[in-house]
A and B are shown apart, each in its own frame.
Chain A
Amino acid sequence: RKEVEQDPGPFNVPEGATVAFNCTYSNSASQSFFWYRQDCRKEPKLLMSVYSSGNEDGRFTAQLNRASQYISLLIRDSKLSDSATYLCVVNFGMDSSYKLIFGSGTRLLVRP
């Protein structure tokens, strides 16, 4: 089983749509969770951290379910500029908490 698994997509949605990405992780000792955004041929950039209680940043909402080892990202009112690959990222665990494991990413295409 991969340490961090994501649906590769692509998700092809119209502008204004709501889209949700899911991610599962294998290490129950993981403590830190993130969503990164990567544009084509660019470096990944931190979109948001994911907190146990769930958190929201504008049109973006992240949820964490520790029992199921599952993370989600919801994007409301999609914009053309949201087209990118979204990477689910989890820290390795208690012994190597500074190491982050990256999922392979979910590609989002927002069409006019």
Chain B
Amino acid sequence: DGGITQSPKYLFRKEGQNVTLSCEQNLNHDAMYWYRQDPGQGLRLIYYSQIVNDFQKGDIAEGYSVSREKKESFPLTVTSAQKNPTAFYLCASSRPQEIYYGYTFGSGTRLTVV
């Protein structure tokens, strides 16, 4: 079955550490996205990528970095520069030319700073 896999499901980070969240899809989607969701709030766009080796900043990119070396993979690194990283992180993918199908989401990674 096609889908998006995010790992790990839960992640604990110490102050000053960088951590990388994994996102892999086998839907053959060109576009991939990273969102952050804080409790009781909506989704905020961190980074997105339409094609391999290209990505753009979203609304809250500071303190985060991404890479898109393969179509299937779009990992997100939360750096020590992100001052408040505790949140629910969601990866999504889509076919830009078929946006009327919406996005497919992974099951998310819950990141907690300890």
- CB within 8 Å of B: which residues of A? 32, 34, 36, 41-46, 49, 87, 89, 91, 97-100, 102-105
Contacts and interface: CB of A to CB of B under 8 A. Distances in A.
B42 A89 contact: no
Contacts of A105: 42
B105 A100 contact: no
A49 B99 CA distance: 10
6 contacts: A32-B99, A32-B102, A34-B102, A41-B110, A43-B107, A98-B50
Interface string B78-102: 0000000000101000101001111
A87 B96 CA distance: 20
Interface string B28-42: 000100010000011
B43 interface: yes
Contact of B100 (A32, A36, A45): A32
A93 B64 CA distance: 26
Interface of B: 31, 35, 41-43, 45, 48, 50, 88, 90, 94, 96, 99-108, 110
Contacts of B31: 98
Instruction: Tell which of B94, B102, B110 has the most Cβ of chain A within 10 Å.
Output: B102
Contact of B41 (A41, A44, A104): A104
B74 to A, nearest CB: 14
Contact of B107 (A42, A91, A99, A103): A42
B28 to A, nearest CB: 15
B99 A97 contact: yes
Given A89-B102, A91-B99, A98-B31, A41 B88 contact: yes
Nearest to A88: B42
Nearest 7 Cβ contacts at the A-B interface: A98-B96, A104-B42, A43-B105, A102-B43, A46-B102, A34-B102, A98-B99
B108 A42 contact: yes
Contacts of A91: 99
Given A36-B102, A49-B101, A104-B41, 8 more contacts: A43-B90, A43-B106, A44-B105, A89-B102, A91-B99, A97-B96, A98-B31, A100-B94
